[in-house]
A and B are shown apart, each in its own frame.
Chain A
Amino acid sequence: MKKIQRLEMRSISKSFHGIPANQDINLFIESGEILGLLGENGAGKTTLMNILYGLYQPDSGQIKINDKTIRINNPVESITHGIGMVHQHFMLVQNHSVIENIALAYKDTPFFFPNAKIKNKVEQFSKNFDFHIDLTKKVWQLSAGEQQRVEIIKALLNGADLLILDEPTSVLTPREIKELIFILREMKAKGHMIIFISHKLDEIMDICDRVMVLQKGKIVGSADTKNTDKNSLARMMVGRDVVFNTTREKLTKGKKTLAVENIKVIGDKGRRVVKNISFELFENEIFGIAGVSGNGQRELAEAITGIRPIFSGKVKMNGKDITNKSPRHIYDSGVSHVPEERIRFGIAPGLYLFDNAILKQHHLKKFSNWYFLNYSQIKNHTRTIVKKFKVSTHSINNQIRNLSGGNIQKLILGREISEQPQLLVASHPTYGLDVGATEFLREHLLELRKQGSAILLFSEDLEEIFELCDRIAVIFDGEFMAVLDSDDKQFSDIGLMMAGSKRIDPMEKQK
């Protein structure tokens, strides 16, 4: 197959059950170019790329490679054309090892001894690009960032000339993003082309040569990144100016809500992933936990909310012990949870929106009278969430699996936040959300804080952490490297703390 010099999509249109997702879209990309696709959730970015990757067929329009019209019927054909894609939700077999997943996707995998035969190649490859992955690990044991690296290896090994990255940085840590950018530039220099889907303006400006902005399924603007600036792109994307810095009100913290005392948690691999963590959380306070993903954040959040057993130590809510209590008991004690793996934990895909809107609350009195569910109340509640959080759906009588990832997330956030929890445990709450929704959510979190809630915020987005949090802990390898006020000057070294090379002992600080 000849290398792709130029790829073009012409007048692409696609609609799902009557609702247009892409309308008359024209796009081209040339060898050695990085094209950014910018747009809010549900703007049609993913749909467009899925068409290019052969997952969907366009209702009308053409795809041309090197000026020759082609048809891409399925992902296998798109791979043979030299197109590779890394999806936002990873397409990996959870119970298989890394090498098995790569072997499964690699086109030249031999029939006999597939793993052994490709192992050298993969090892060489991952060394070249500085991917540090244990090939024998099972995928479910990997962090999101590591899983993404496996996906990228899969695409590149198959010789992708065009690599589509759907929201690639949303799961990465700042260091990992740097590594990714390095790889992308390397690829660009070698004449590859990259389509980079994102809603983070900084990244787009930093990485891309050219950017196209989608809104409601249409291209609303395109520009060379050197001839434009963040503000004008943001305007194009949301149709108005975006305020980047919400100003946090000074509040005096209220009474102690959550107390975590020396907890230790065992991870999926049987290793101790949370080692002796203690902290306290007060009313009117947002406590942020910053750190590279895979350092125990997920396990810590799951342990506090009752999904994962606590090995030793205590968790107290308002002075009452909730250690290893059932998730429902903990919810009833006032703890809401926006889980990191939302699609896995947060929804029942085949049930309707209104069923999903009460997933954790269906036992509350207002939704179920004695044992019977009060559907009129439930549907009203759902409509409120849908309206307030701008979930785009044609009806609440819609199976939730028909919604886009961002919209599912909005519903989950609405569900967990709207009940005014005393404590909200939120893991990467804005991951995958567009600028408008992110802004709305952050304001909402600050509003909750004002009303007296305590919020435990796990995030890799340092900007978000510094913007929202009153106190910040940096987690590394299951331990806190530092717990500081967000305006503490020592945070200039946060990079070092996240990498585990600097530690500020709380005792030392008190002295």
Chain B
Amino acid sequence: MIKIKTTDRYNITTLRSFMTNILSLFAALVVIGIIFLIAGVNPFYAISEIFSGSFGSFYGIKETITKAIPLILIGAGLTLAFRAKFWNIGAEGQMLMGAIFATWTGLTFGEALPSYIIVPLIFLAGFIGGGLWGIIPAILKIKYAINEVISTLMLNYICAEILTLLIVGPWKGKTRFGFPGTDNLPDSAILGLIPGSRIHYATLILAVICAIVLGVIIYKTRFGYEARVVGENPDAGRYAGINFLKTSLILMAISGGLAGVAGVGEVAGIHHHLGYPASISSGYGFTAIIVAWLAKLNPLYTIISGIFFAGILVGGDAIQISLGLPAATVEIVNGTLLIFLIMGDYFLNHKITLQFSFKH
């Protein structure tokens, strides 16, 4: 009889942790390859297309960086929430709320104000919008013990419907000829692009700064310490005099706020107006969960993992066109990667041994 035995692994080295991630990704690619095979596509060709589509050309790289911007911002914010074991699945909604706040600010004050005032203002508005949407589940959790996985997830749909309501109703633009969507933001509120690309550099710089600052917050500050203690053991947090409500509110304000900032980038950098939810975000809020996880909940690493997953999004788009695969392909790829990363985490923390024994 073969028995599987698991024991805890101590003293995990950085190298081991890194190699586990690499192997997990590789194993995921194997499974993804099998899925491609079932779909009747040469898996080697498809996977190489994904990476050549995203990293193999100048155009691909530019697109990859464009999509990495929201992933880094949201992913970095999620690392903070996840550290405190606050499972924020609502970044999608927080991002859209940021976009809504930014659009209103841009449309209301944009005409009258110069760029150097209105641009910071819409980023601030986006942060506040996303942050407010983020602290709702924090209040629900601390005050009424409502599971945050459910509340954050549900708030995504509520926000998407609010946005839809706005663009088909009161905010429908005069320049849209009756189609849903707001008017374009005034020029002063539109973010500058790196010439020849869609990279809105202001948001990119902001994303990198945010990832670094969050790293400092988590590892070096009192607040980050309190968030980690609460995540490790809430009872110890209570004993240590950590104010749960305050800690949760701040961390969800930051986590949601950064998602809101990502929403600002999408609206002011790429679309220039508020359209249907699916056009503002192609599931960045969910993909960022994997980004945060691949980064081992270290915000600095979200810069790398964000670019990696942006590459998969771009490459996924490329194979949809070149191989005629359905849009769900990217989601299958992402989902498979997440499952394998989580499994890899398990194998990193546990040692699995097979035991052969014979019953007497």
Tell whether A and B belong to one assembly.
Answer: yes
**Distance of A124 from chain B, by nearest CB (Å):** 33
Q: Do the beta carbons of B239 and A327 come within 8 Å of each other?
A: yes
Q: Do the beta carbons of A347 and B236 come within 8 Å of each other?
A: yes
B232 CB-CB contact with A under 8 Å: yes
B243 CB-CB contact with A under 8 Å: yes
Instruction: Name the contact of B238 in the complex, choosing from A71, A327, A349, A399 (C-beta under 8 A).
Output: A327
Most buried by A among B221, B226, B236: B236
Instruction: Name the contact of A337 in the complex, choosing from B221, B225, B233, B239 (C-beta under 8 A).
Output: B239
Closest A residue, CB atoms, query B3: A73
Instruction: Name the contact of B236 in the complex, choosing from A330, A337, A348 (C-beta under 8 A).
Output: A348
CB neighbours (8 Å) of A346 from chain B are: 236, 239
A328 CB-CB contact with B under 8 Å: yes
Q: Do the beta carbons of B3 and A372 come within 8 Å of each other?
A: no
Give the complex CA separation of A470 and B79 in angstroms.
52
Give the complex CA separation of A306 and B5 in angstroms.
43
Q: Do the beta carbons of A350 and B232 come within 8 Å of each other?
A: yes
**Distance of A342 from chain B, by nearest CB (Å):** 10
**Distance of B169 from chain A, by nearest CB (Å):** 44
Give the complex CA separation of A461 and B178 in angstroms.
82
CB neighbours (8 Å) of B220 from chain A are: 372-373, 375
Most buried by A among B221, B223, B235, B243: B235
A72-99 contact mask (Cβ, 8 Å, vs B): 1 or 0: 0110000000000000000000000000
Give the complex CA separation of A17 and B10 in angstroms.
7
A314 CB-CB contact with B under 8 Å: no
A402 CB-CB contact with B under 8 Å: yes
**Distance of A6 from chain B, by nearest CB (Å):** 18
Q: Do the beta carbons of B228 and A372 come within 8 Å of each other?
A: no
B14 CB-CB contact with A under 8 Å: no
**Distance of A508 from chain B, by nearest CB (Å):** 39
CB neighbours (8 Å) of B237 from chain A are: 348
Among A160-168, A209-217, A262-270, A358-366, the stretch in contact with B: A358-366
A329 CB-CB contact with B under 8 Å: yes
Q: Do the beta carbons of A348 and B241 come within 8 Å of each other?
A: no
Q: Do the beta carbons of B225 and A362 come within 8 Å of each other?
A: yes
A299 CB-CB contact with B under 8 Å: no
Would you list which residues of chain B between 25 and 46 have a CB under 8 Å from chain A? none
Q: Do the beta carbons of A359 and B232 come within 8 Å of each other?
A: no
CB neighbours (8 Å) of B10 from chain A are: 16-17, 399, 402
CB neighbours (8 Å) of A359 from chain B are: 229, 236, 239-240
Interface Cβ pair total, 8 Å cutoff:
83
Would you list which residues of chain B between 238 and 263 have a CB under 8 Å from chain A? 238-243
Closest B residue, CB atoms, query A400: B232
CB neighbours (8 Å) of B175 from chain A are: none
Q: Do the beta carbons of A349 and B225 come within 8 Å of each other?
A: no
Closest A residue, CB atoms, query B238: A307
Give the complex CA separation of A328 and B244 in angstroms.
12
Q: A17-B10, A17-B11, A359-B236 are in contact. Are A73 and B5 (CB under 8 A)?
A: yes
Would you list which residues of chain B between 200 and 248 have a CB under 8 Å from chain A? 220-223, 225-226, 228-229, 232-233, 235-243
Q: Do the beta carbons of A371 and B223 come within 8 Å of each other?
A: yes
Q: Do the beta carbons of B355 and A345 come within 8 Å of each other?
A: no
CB neighbours (8 Å) of A337 from chain B are: 239
Q: Do the beta carbons of A73 and B238 come within 8 Å of each other?
A: no
Q: Do the beta carbons of B232 and A349 come within 8 Å of each other?
A: yes
Q: Chain A contact residues: over half helix, strand or loop, or mixed?
A: loop
CB neighbours (8 Å) of A368 from chain B are: 221-222
CB neighbours (8 Å) of B357 from chain A are: 71, 73
CB neighbours (8 Å) of A363 from chain B are: 222, 241
A326 CB-CB contact with B under 8 Å: yes
CB neighbours (8 Å) of B229 from chain A are: 348, 351, 355, 359
CB neighbours (8 Å) of B232 from chain A are: 348-351
Give the complex CA separation of A346 and B232 in angstroms.
12
CB neighbours (8 Å) of A327 from chain B are: 238-241
B69-85 contact mask (Cβ, 8 Å, vs A): 1 or 0: 00000000000000000
A42 CB-CB contact with B under 8 Å: no
A330-350 contact mask (Cβ, 8 Å, vs B): 1 or 0: 110000010100001111111
**Distance of B358 from chain A, by nearest CB (Å):** 10
Closest A residue, CB atoms, query B224: A373
Most buried by A among B222, B226, B241: B241
Q: A17-B10, A347-B233 are in contact. Are A373 and B243 (CB under 8 A)?
A: no
Q: Do the beta carbons of B241 and A345 come within 8 Å of each other?
A: no
Q: Do the beta carbons of B355 and A355 come within 8 Å of each other?
A: no
CB neighbours (8 Å) of A57 from chain B are: 5
**Distance of A1 from chain B, by nearest CB (Å):** 11
Q: Do the beta carbons of A348 and B243 come within 8 Å of each other?
A: no
CB neighbours (8 Å) of B235 from chain A are: 344-345
Closest B residue, CB atoms, query A348: B232
Q: A17-B11, A345-B236 are in contact. Are A306 and B228 (CB under 8 A)?
A: no
Closest B residue, CB atoms, query A394: B11
Give the complex CA separation of A329 and B241 in angstroms.
8
Q: A73-B357, A326-B243 are in contact. Are A371 and B221 (CB under 8 A)?
A: yes
Closest A residue, CB atoms, query B217: A371
Q: Do the beta carbons of B228 and A355 come within 8 Å of each other?
A: yes
Would you list which residues of chain A between 303 and 335 have a CB under 8 Å from chain B? 306-307, 326-331
CB neighbours (8 Å) of B222 from chain A are: 362-363, 368, 371-373
CB neighbours (8 Å) of A74 from chain B are: 5
CB neighbours (8 Å) of B228 from chain A are: 348, 351, 355
Closest A residue, CB atoms, query B239: A345
**Distance of B330 from chain A, by nearest CB (Å):** 33
**Distance of A157 from chain B, by nearest CB (Å):** 25
**Distance of A347 from chain B, by nearest CB (Å):** 6
Give the complex CA separation of A368 and B221 in angstroms.
8
CB neighbours (8 Å) of B221 from chain A are: 368, 371-373
Give the complex CA separation of A327 and B240 in angstroms.
7
Give the complex CA separation of A425 and B3 in angstroms.
48
Q: Do the beta carbons of B238 and A345 come within 8 Å of each other?
A: yes
Give the complex CA separation of A344 and B237 in angstroms.
10
B140-166 contact mask (Cβ, 8 Å, vs A): 1 or 0: 000000000000000000000000000
Closest B residue, CB atoms, query A402: B10
CB neighbours (8 Å) of A331 from chain B are: 241
CB neighbours (8 Å) of A326 from chain B are: 241, 243
Give the complex CA separation of A39 and B235 in angstroms.
31
What are 29 A-B contacts defined by CB distance under 8 Å? A17-B11, A73-B5, A73-B357, A307-B239, A326-B241, A327-B238, A327-B241, A328-B242, A329-B241, A330-B241, A344-B236, A345-B239, A346-B239, A347-B236, A348-B229, A348-B236, A348-B237, A349-B232, A350-B232, A351-B232, A355-B225, A359-B229, A359-B236, A362-B222, A362-B240, A363-B222, A368-B222, A373-B220, A402-B10
- Using a CB–CB cutoff of 8 Å, the interface residues on chain B facing chain A are 3, 5, 7, 10-11, 220-223, 225-226, 228-229, 232-233, 235-243, 355, 357
If A73-B3, A399-B10 are given as contacts, then 15 extra A-B residue pairs at C-beta distance below 8 Å, sorted by A number, are A74-B5, A326-B243, A327-B238, A327-B241, A328-B240, A344-B236, A345-B235, A347-B233, A348-B232, A349-B233, A355-B228, A355-B229, A359-B236, A372-B220, A402-B10
Q: 6 closest A-B pairs (Cβ-Cβ)? A: A328-B241, A348-B232, A327-B241, A345-B239, A348-B229, A359-B240
